[in-house]
Structure formats: C-alpha cells, structure tokens
Amino acid sequence: MSRSSLSVRDALLALAIATLALGIYLRTLAAGLLPGDSGEFQTLASLLGHTHPTGYPIYLILAKPFTWLPWRDIAWRVNLVSAVMAALTAMGLYLTARLLTDSALLSLAGALLLAISPTFWSQARIAEVYTPGAAFLMTILGLLVWWDVRNAAWALFLAGLLGGLSLGVHMTVALMAPAGLLFLLLYHRRRWAVARTALAGAGLGVLLTLMAFWLIDRHNPPANYFHAVILPSISAWDLTPAALDAPWERLWFSWSAQQFRPFMGQWQVFGDQAQTFWEHLPQELGAPTPWLALLGGLWLLGKCFRVGVLILLALGLQLFFTFTYAIWDLYVFFIPAYGLLTLLAVAGLAAVADAAVWGVSRWRASRPTWLRPTLTILLALAFLFLAVWPVFRPNWDAVLARENPFQHWEEYPQDDSNLPILAQLTVDNLPPNAILFTDWDMLWPYYYTAHVLGRRPDLLFHETYPRDDRPELADSVIESIRQQISTHPIFFSERDARLRQAGFKLQPRRVGPQRLYQVAP
C-alpha cells in the first residue's frame, strides 16, 4: 500500500460526515422509553446492572455518562448513545476508506451510504448495542490499516485494546480476531514482535472488560438480568441458585450465552439465511454495491494483499456466524457485514478509476492531469445517484417530518407514546412490595418506571418465560411463589395452567389500565 496519510482536511471531512449523520439520527431519534431490549438498556445503563447475555459491561459504562446529560429524559439520552456511535462509525469508515483508496470523495460517498443504510440507521435511533459494536469494529480496522500504512506501534496496541474491550460491547466484533491475527502474521518483518504488541493491547482490554463486569456485578441493583430473569426461572437452565453464587459463574453464564446457544451453529438454516441476506442487500446498500465490493476485494488483494485478506476474512467470518444463527432478529447481525461491504465498495470505485486511467494511458502517450480527479467526481456522483439516493429516498419524508422511518418493520421496538403512561399507571397501582411476572417487552419499562424514575422501588418484576426453546413456567417459579406468597402480593400478566395445577388460584384484578391475575393459595 502506498504511504498515503491523513490531513487536516480529512479530519474536517470526517467530522462533517459524522455531524451530518448525527443530525439525521437526531431528527428521527426515538423520543423516549422503549420496550424489550431497548428498555433494558435504558434501564440498566442508568442503574448499572447486568443485562442479558453477554452482559455488555463496557457498553453500560460508556452509556452511563450520557444519563447525566441535562437534556430530555434518561431513556432518550441512552437512545442518543446509539446515534453518537453510529456517527462515529461513519467517520471511521471515511477515514479507513481514505487510507485504502487515497480518495476523499469516494470515501465520503461510502460513509454516507452506510450512515443511511436502513438497518444501521434503525439501530442508531434506539438504545441498542449494534452501532457501538460497529463503531468498535470500524475503529479497529482503521487502526490496523493505519499501522500498515504508517508502521505506528501505538495504532497496533490500540487496535488490540479496543478488540479486548469489544467483548464488553458486542462479541461479534471478536469474530475479527482471526482475521487480525492472520493480517499480522503476513507481515514478514518482526512478525512475532508485531503480534505481541497487538496481543498486549488485547490482554489489557480483556482485563478492563473483566473489571467492568466485576464492578457492575458488585454494584448489583435489584433491577438486573439475573434477579429479574434467571434466578426465578433457574430450573429452566437445569441449574440451582448455588450455580450462580460467584461472580465468575455469572460471568461464564453471560459470556457463554447459554440463553442463545441453542440457536447457534444451525447449519440447516445456512442457505435460507444467505438468500435473505442477498435479497435484502439492494435495499440496504443499493444495487451496485455488492458488485463493487467484489471488485474492491480483488483490487485490494492485488494492491495490498495483507489488507485485502484482513477485510475479506473478517467479512467471511461475520457472514459464516450469521448464516448459521437461527435467531429471530437476525437482520441486525448483518450490520458488521454491511460496514465491511461498503468499505470494499469504495475500494471497487477506486478500482474502476484505476482501470479507466490505465485504459487511457494505453492509447495516449501522456496522461492528462485532470483525468483522475474528473473520473473520481463522476464516480462519486454516479454512486450517490445509483446507490445512496435510492436507499435514502424512501425515508426522506420521515426525516423532514421528524418521524420514525421504520415503524412498519416487524421485530422492531416501535415508538409508543402510550408506553410510559401504561407503565406508570400499572406501577403506581400495584400494592406495596408486589411482584409481577410479565413478558420481556414490558419487563424493563416497568423497572425503568419503578426504579429509574423512583416511583416504586419496592416493586419487583420477573420475566415469565425466559427461554424461547422452553416456553413453559419453570418449576423454580412455582417454588418461589410458595416461599413468597405470604409476604408479597404476586401477579401474572397472563393465565398459566401450571399455577392452577400447582394448587394456586388466579384472581383477575384491574391494576391501572391493565387486567392482571393475582396468585392466591
């Protein structure tokens, strides 16, 4: 790779693309409290309690300062984390593409495409971990490319550090580790010294992530994933409470993703998942992008074999994991692949420019100085017209109206202005020290209202059916009810036949606007 570098102009352009992207996200940012995972992150970023696997301790610590901002409510501030991280991802893509192609215009076009890619954008407007994960991945990749260009040891160490920290943001970032290691081993000079620098950074990052997990574990607020979900239904995992007594046992439960392991490595879904990914690519990145990415991958292999291997192997590992993951919200796991494909597409545009310049030089003795700049401008405009605008156009009206562009999507936490009201009225009308078993979507809005807003810290909430592969009431829930029914009013949001079979009565009760069922002996 040529010894290109970055300039002040590049820093300003990177800041400009981040500002533009953040402006779009702010206009469409979810207004407040959300159900499901988003409500969980809004709640636990404030309270600093364990989330669902894999725990995301570094994400929580990064999000916590946002909860101190003086604007709007805490739920909105945690949504803002995703918007900022998405803007930083677009900035990182610009800088990385600029190093790879030496073209600011083509890099800007690519960064803009990823910024307005629908799935990426949808996660930039809600409290989630996917844009922080993308920001870490793109930054690590950019640092590795910078090290390859400038031979700066600090960049290599920092890439390793962020790689270790990424275990506490989103573990799919760690799928890049084999590609990064091979990239370093392909460096023929002092390869083991180089690898040690990166591994030292990674070791420090892992240590800091473990410390973050320990601090959150030690903090242990009543509202956390283990108290709300795992311990009441502990028998559903064929465990006893003693199996999660120690911090390292809770760490293993989180990092081994026991809740999701039944859905991983499912080879039978590979073909369907790959087909779904391919069919949705034009909607996500525009029709020309996959073909440009293929060309860009070949161009990079020829221009700088190490970097080409790094990006293509990282892409392959992401897709391999995702294509064998039979999870319901699979579409969000394609985000890292979208970022890598966009980067390759920018390289593909540079390859087209190189080919055109080479073609002209074949029949002209001297190459005009204006040729490459003119080609670059034309290619950038064509990419904006053929890829960026068709992807952005369906959401243009929503941006102007400050609305959610993705409200028609399935498996997506929809904005609902009634949700905070529903949660507040339910929480306010539950009797003292009550325990409510409810579904995942409402679990964290209740906890947010009761504990973050401080309206009813005496209340506890549990998920009724935490395992999707075992949708029945756990034996440990029945035992827990027997132990607590004399001291806590216990409610369920729906009838369950197992409660009657266990000798309990379910008495309908109007609690605020909701019909709940109180458990009686």
Residues 423 and 307 in one domain: no
Q: Running DSSP on this structure, what letter comes out for residue 431?
A: P
Residues 45 and 74 in one domain: yes
pLDDT tens, position by position, 169-225? 999 999 999 999 999 888 767 777 888 899 999 999 999 999 999 999 999 999 999
pLDDT tens, position by position, 128-169? 999 999 999 999 999 999 999 888 889 999 999 999 999 999
| pLDDT confidence band for 468 (50 / 70 / 90) | confident
| Predicted structure pTM score | 0.94
Cα dihedral sign for 420, 426, 429, 431?
negative
pLDDT, residue 259, reads 78
pLDDT, residue 191, reads 73
Residues 361 and 479 in one domain: no
Residues 424 and 374 in one domain: no
Q: Indicate the angle between helix axes 130-150 and 305-323, nearest 10 degrees.
A: 160
pLDDT, residue 188, reads 67
Segment 335-342 mean pLDDT: 98
pLDDT, residue 429, reads 97
pLDDT at 483 over 60: yes
Provide the strand spans (E) within 230-280: none
Range of the domain at 59: 8-223+260-401
CB 420 within 8 A of CB 450: no
Residues 349 and 470 in one domain: no
pLDDT, residue 224, reads 95
The domain boundary, picked from 401, 434, 449, lies at: 401
Residues 368 and 296 in one domain: yes
d(CA 64, CA 61): 5
Q: Which residues contact 233 (CB under 8 A, 6 or more apart)?
A: 462, 463, 465, 466, 467, 474, 476, 477
Mean of all residue pLDDT scores within the chain: 93
Q: Is 235 inside any structural domain?
A: no
d(CA 372, CA 502): 78
CB atoms within 10 A of CB 260: 16
Proportion of the chain above pLDDT 90, given as a percent: 84
Residues 272 and 368 in one domain: yes
d(CA 217, CA 97): 39
Residue bearing the bigger pLDDT, 512 or 1: 512
Q: Is 82 inside any structural domain?
A: yes
- Our count of domains for the chain comes to 2
CB 462 within 8 A of CB 435: yes
d(CA 39, CA 327): 20
Which residue, 16, 27, 62, 25, is CA-closest to 41?
A: 62
Residues 355 and 208 in one domain: yes
pLDDT tens, position by position, 60-70? 999 999 999 99
Residues 337 and 458 in one domain: no
pLDDT, residue 366, reads 66
Segment 363-386 mean pLDDT: 86
Residues 431 and 342 in one domain: no
pLDDT at 262 over 90: no
Residues 354 and 458 in one domain: no
Residues 361 and 490 in one domain: no
The most confident of the ranges 192-201, 387-396, 462-471 is: 387-396
d(CA 511, CA 425): 8
pLDDT at 1 over 60: no
Q: Is 414 inside any structural domain?
A: no
Segment 11-38 mean pLDDT: 96
Residue 5 CA to its chain's centroid (Å):
30
78 to 61, 86, 210, 353: CA distances (angstroms): 12, 13, 23, 42
104 to 86, 222, 300, 438: CA distances (angstroms): 20, 50, 17, 52
Structure-token pair, residue 65: 């300062």
Q: Is 83 inside any structural domain?
A: yes
d(CA 203, CA 499): 49
Residue count of the chain: 521
pLDDT at 240 over 80: yes
pLDDT at 54 over 60: yes
Q: Indicate the angle between helix axes 130-150 and 177-185, nearest 10 degrees.
A: 0
